[in-house]
């Protein structure tokens, strides 16, 4: 469980450190109309992803606080799956933040997949979905 807490906190710090750089790269998009639309859509999606990651970060903190009291062998496997899914989601979020125009669609698809797997892993450890 200590590893879960450390993983959550370390991942949160890494993601937070990447956020200012992402804002800078979004502002460096070409000024033609299609690039502006693309940048706007991209910026909106990145903001949505940031919000989701922030919500998950809080869920993971809350979960790690309560998980220590109810650790069972079966739950440990589910917690490991959750930790891996969270790590992958954070990594996908960082790739999304830093993706260039050529990599955008792939980064977006990776983030969506990682987010969906995180939701599934979450439901294994918290069937109520809270």
The answer to whether residue 130 is domain-embedded is: no
pTM: 0.60
pLDDT bin (cut points 50, 70, 90) of residue 32 is very low
Helix pair 73-98, 33-67: axis angle to 10 deg: 160
> Does residue 63 belong to any structural domain of this protein?
yes
Q: Per the domain annotation, does 103 fall within a domain?
A: yes
pLDDT one-digit tens code per residue, 33-48: 455 467 778 889 999 9
Q: What value does the CA radius of gyration of the chain take, rounded to a whole number of Å?
A: 16
Range of the domain at 105: 2-125
In a domain, 46, yes or no: yes
Task: Indicate the number of domains in the chain.
Answer: 1
State the virtual CA torsion across 23, 27, 28, 29 in degrees, nearest 10: 120
């Amino acid at each position: 469980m200590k590893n879960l807490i450390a993983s959550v906190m370390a991942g949160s710090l890494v993601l937070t450190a990447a956020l200012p750089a992402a804002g800078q790269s979004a502002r460096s998009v070409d000024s033609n109309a299609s690039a502006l639309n693309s940048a706007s859509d991209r910026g909106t999606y990145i903001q949505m992803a940031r919000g989701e990651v922030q919500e998950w970060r809080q869920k993971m903190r809350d979960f790690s606080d309560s998980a220590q009291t109810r650790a069972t062998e079966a739950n440990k496997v589910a917690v490991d799956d959750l930790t891996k899914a969270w790590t992958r989601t954070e990594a996908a979020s960082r790739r999304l933040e830093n993706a260039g125009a050529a990599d955008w669609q792939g980064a977006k698809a990776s983030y969506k997949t990682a987010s969906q797997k995180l939701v599934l892993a979450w439901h294994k450890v918290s069937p109520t979905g809270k």
